[in-house]
Amino acid sequence: MIYPDLEQPIPADLGRVHFVGIGGSGMHGIARMMHNRGLQVTGSDRSLNAYTRALSELGIQVSEGHDAAHAVGADTLVVTGALWQDNPEYQYALQHNIPVLHRSQALAWLNRDKRLISVAGAHGKTTSTGMVVTALLGAGADPSFVNGGVIEALGVSARDGADNLFVIEADESDRSFQLYDTDIALITNVDPEHLDFYGSREAFMQAFVDFAAAANEVVIASSDDAGCAEVLAALPADVHVQTFGFADHADVQLLAVDDSGPVSFTVAAAGQEQRVQLAVYGVHNAVNAAGAIAVLLHLGYSLADAAQAVASFAGTKRRFEFHAAVGGVRVYDDYAHHPTEVAALLAATKPVVGQGRLIAVHQPHLYSRTQHFHREFAEVLEQGADYTVVLPVDGAREDPVPGVTGELVSADFADQNRVFYAADWDIATAHLAAVAQPGDVFVTMSCGTVYQIIPQLVASLVAKFGDADLQTAPGFVLPGA
């Protein structure tokens, strides 16, 4: 893995910029924005995808696979942290003194001289970023933004706007959120993770304290999260703080939440109240919306306008995203990859399931996370789902750790009749089809590659139930179709 050097100067003139891993969820948006600003942009990725095809349609040269020749002629290299150190393009840049920027440094270059809203937190920051962006657009603003997921209503994860506002999802995993000259810091929650990088809980918490203390205007944070409370208590007295949530002392308070369908709630601030109806599910999304409303209130919008604007949010890709339904079985996908996120997802999904069963398809992401949290994953999956299929670990940027497999999670279930460990995806899809019943809701969950199993899973369901009632999301393609 390649970590950002927070002390490295970022060149004012980047020249020709080559992106290594340009097809990533964050990288492609940054590449698009640099291209739109007139820079010559090229890129490469180990495999091509919808993002790289869209970039190619803009005239950006994208190469499949990694080769030192791709970096020849570049003035600046932009890399994703998921790269290995031996990547040939990265090594070529080092050998030829080509400046190498981590994607977070490229993002800092894009948002320099802007009024910056940075959304940080262990969970919910992609959705919260999408809510802030959607609300600002709905209120008549035109911000620039870079999000970690595609905003459903906009069809993109990044875009240049005409206003001076810039909204970003700020990543805490490698301390890169401290790179940005943040004006408004929105913190959804602080749940210690990424301890393989930070080394200790104390170092992780201090990173959030440093991030919040550096905000130029205001820190907007959860009133209910214990981690946020710890961070706020450690801030200097002159830091301006606003809170949101259920607590009586919250500056933006949630009241009368109804999550029996798409969530609705009353929001109260400065002696006023406003009812809000969202298009998405779950109490956690009511909380996320309260944070977005708090941002708009700080920017000078009225409570009524802020509440109306955030109600237009229709979700982000890979956040409880519908893919297909067949034989009375519905299939969704979600990015949840931490026990807290999984618990919130399963709780939010219950109203959607109705009288059927909630079946979780859990792909553990990272060996280190699985090693630290396998018991917690088992606990929330067993409590929140009716049945769980556990897949092998998606190691992503990490080397395998002996003894750390998906079986660590399945073995921790108290009731072994409610879990099945599948050693590969063929076994998983065959098993899921075998146990599927009309009324079931399947949810794949991970920030790894698990979404790629869905076409195979739906094909297995079609083989069992037939395709007479098959419904699919736009763009969904069955294998062999």
349 part of the active site: no
Residue 370 marked in a binding site: no
Question: Domain locations in the chain?
Answer: 17-104, 113-312, 321-472
Query: 169, 379, 382, 398: which is the annotated catalytic residue?
Result: 169
**What is the DSSP pairing of strand 321-326 with strand 329-334?**
antiparallel
Q: Which amino acid is at 454?
A: I
Encode burial over 17-45: b for 16+ CB neighbours within 10 A, e otherwise. bbbbbbbbbbbbbbbbbbbeeebbbbbbb
pLDDT by residue for the chain (481 residues), tens digit each?
A: 676 677 778 889 999 999 999 988 779 999 999 999 999 999 999 888 888 999 999 999 999 999 999 999 999 999 987 778 889 999 999 999 999 999 999 999 999 999 999 999 987 888 899 999 999 999 999 999 998 777 877 778 889 999 999 999 998 878 888 999 999 999 999 987 776 778 888 999 999 999 999 999 999 999 999 999 999 999 999 999 999 999 999 999 999 998 777 889 999 999 999 999 998 877 888 999 999 999 999 999 999 999 999 998 876 666 678 888 899 998 989 878 888 888 878 887 877 787 889 999 999 988 888 998 899 999 999 999 999 999 999 887 678 889 999 999 999 999 999 999 999 999 999 999 999 999 999 999 998 889 899 999 999 999 999 999 998 877 778 887 6
Tell me the C-alpha distance between 379 and 383, whole Å: 6
Residue 372 marked in a binding site: no
Q: Report the CATH fold assignment for 17-104.
A: Rossmann fold (3.40.50)
449 part of the active site: no
Which tens digits make up the pLDDT trace of 53-98?
Answer: 999 999 999 999 999 999 999 999 999 877 788 899 999 999 999 9
* Percent of residues, the chain, with pLDDT higher than 70: 97
CATH of range 321-472; options 3.10.560.10, 1.10.600.10, 3.40.190.10, 3.90.190.20: 3.90.190.20
Tell me the C-alpha distance between 102 and 4, whole Å: 5
What SS3 state is found at 168? Answer: strand
What SS3 state is found at 102? Answer: strand
Encode burial over 290-309: b for 16+ CB neighbours within 10 A, e otherwise. bbbbbbbbbbebebebbbbb
Query: 42, 76, 126, 243: which is the annotated catalytic residue?
Result: 126
Tell me the C-alpha distance between 286 and 299, whole Å: 20
Domain covering 113-312 assigned CATH 3.20.170.30 in the classification: no
266 part of the active site: no
Q: What is the pTM of this model?
A: 0.76
Residue 126 marked in a binding site: yes
Closest CA to 118 of 2, 214, 235: 214
First to last CA, the chain: 37
Residue 127 marked in a binding site: yes
Which tens digits make up the pLDDT trace of 392-428?
Answer: 998 876 788 899 999 999 999 999 999 999 999 999 9
Confidence (pLDDT) at 80: 85
Q: Rounded mean pLDDT of the chain? A: 90
